[in-house]
Amino acid sequence: MEEQKIAVGLDIGTTKIVAMVGQRNEFGKVEILGIGKSKSLGVHRGVVNNITQTIQSIQQATLEAEESSGLKINEVVVGIAGQHIRSLQHSDYITRENADEVISEEDIEKLISQVHKLVMLPGEEIIHVLPQEYKVDGQAEIKEPVGMYGGRLEANFHVVVGQVSSIRNIGRCIKSAGLDMGHVTLEPIASSDAVLSQEEKEAGVALIDIGGGTTDLAIFKDGIIRSTAVIPFGGNVITEDIKEGCSIIQKQAELLKVKFGSAWPGENKETEIVSIPGLRGRDPKEISLKTLSKIINARVIEIIEQVYLEIKNYGHEDQKKKLIAGIVLTGGGSQLKHLKQLVEYITGMDTRVGYPNEHLAGNSDDTTTSPMFATAVGLLMAALEKNPTEKSRLEKDETITEEGPIDDYRDSSVISNQRNSVFERWTDKFKEFLDKA
């Protein structure tokens, strides 16, 4: 029996860092072998702002994952988010020398590498180049041009851009924690792989991943990713508002939000009151649940409206771009009571909460199928997809060569078996830079 490939996804979030070890079972589902979780101390709004604390949190999470899985972790696939991420639409074309030959993967790679040469703002780097649809000699709406004849190959691209320094800082933390970085994936893309079905992506859907520091958005239509955005607000600003509004400490505010919080103030009566122990010898504080849900409601409306603005900017109100499958909420923040109803009320779109259980093996426990772990599951899936035949490199401590397994990673969000090799080459160069550093 051939050895199963084992991989690791590492989600570096603002509130928690999760390392997830897993493999595919005989039915092609993801089986989670171990999970490690630690409090994230050095990350603010998705961006590393304290290297030492982040390294310690990563080491703690990977150590816990190693203990629960019984395997040694060497390489991880990491997610990137943060307020520095932006996306743009870009069209480009190549003229082929020999129109009598069919279009090959090399032509598509040439076109993608041309997009990678786009001049960005100082300090920015292209993270993903995602083809939307192609045109061959003016014939539009082609999803897979390989094998067709044509002299001029054109494509529309969704280009995701991020700050070089933020990506380097994450790489530095991972290297200092004694790990190798497999590749970087945009977190909303990872989350969407974990919680969305192919039917939803075809019909048109907006995935809203409400994390601690940021709210990530990914919009799909006709099975293709159309737009991504990162909004620099998440569950932490709600906690901060409760802390200020009720004059209590952070820990109590977080507990209040999780246990009694609701996004809909109408359901609480004025008489419902929670008593919170006072600080050292002081009298306990009494807080009305109606006041609490009013504070939460105000901030949640602000977050939803910002996300809805992005959905409108994409063109959701245009009949051809309509998102029929509506909205899918995921991430830790999606577990807030009555949030689904509030989102439906503000946007008028069908909404559901997305659990990452569709791609997981049936014996997965409830903790791993929580929306909190959607990004980690998505990153693990991306890591497993990289090269299914490659043997586990968790047990063997080997370095990645220039032509190493990375070259065969296929980005699951790109149209069928499209190689993303330019991105991998960039990752290799980035690794070289880190080695020298």
The structural domains of the chain, ordered by start, are: 1-84+163-196+358-437 (3.30.420.40), 86-162 (3.30.1490.110), 198-354 (3.30.420.40)
- The DSSP bridge pattern shows strands 152-163 and 139-142 to be unpaired
Contacts of 3 (CB under 8 A, 6+ apart): 391, 392
What's the pLDDT at 254? 92
Among the listed residues 320, 85, 350, the one whose alpha carbon sits nearest the alpha carbon of residue 206? 350
pTM of the model: 0.83
Low-confidence ranges of the chain (pLDDT < 70): 1-3, 386-427, 429-437
35, 360 Cβ separation under 8 angstroms: no
Helix (H) / strand (E) containing 189 = helix 187-195
What's the pLDDT at 433? 63
* Dihedral sign of CA atoms 369, 58, 86, 45 in order: positive
Among the listed residues 391, 407, 383, 3, the one whose alpha carbon sits nearest the alpha carbon of residue 193? 383
